[in-house]
Structure 1
Amino acid sequence: MIFSAASWAAIYFLVWWTALFLVLPFSGRSQSEAGDVTPGTEPGAPFSARMGRVIVITTIVATLVFVAINLLLTQELFGLDDIPFLPRFEQAR
């Protein structure tokens, strides 16, 4: 096994967090776009955040990316030794 379960969980968390910032800008409209600016707030503030929808889309995107990373690393299509700037590691027998 190339990584422990805790390592895979950490990788998934990092992928999910990165996907959140990828999905977040596409999630909603600003107050100025909606035409309903609340006095005292920034016109670019979200009108409706729809965070439940953002979390679901983020989870789907992160899961697809994570599966691709998992397949690349576990099916030996691409390994850590293929990255040129990392040191070479020998497997213990």
Structure 2
Amino acid sequence: MNREILRLAIPNIISNVSVPMLSAVDLMLMGHLSKEQHLGAVAVGGVAFNVIYWGFGFLRMSTTGMTAQAYGADDSERCLSILKVALLFAFI
């Protein structure tokens, strides 16, 4: 059972770790340019992206759990309903 949980959790773990790494890589690349404004612009953009991404983290986490329960109960109609509500929240 523990191996199955780990197998299912690894994609989420990778996703959660990769988001901050994207900004770090961008900053490292911009650090090689001659103007500090480039570095500052990428830093501000990275902060803005992270605020938006993690601000909507509640939607990603809650949708994943509810969809997993509906899928485990073999309730495809509820899975579709959860998807519709999540998309509605995402676009509002």
- Which structure dedicates a bigger proportion of its chain to helix? 2
| TM-score category (smaller protein) | 0.3 to 0.5
Higher relative contact order (CA 8 A, sep 6+): 1
Structure having the higher Rg: 1
Please report the TM-score for the alignment, with normalisation by the length of structure 2: 0.34
TM-score, length-scaled by structure 1:
0.34
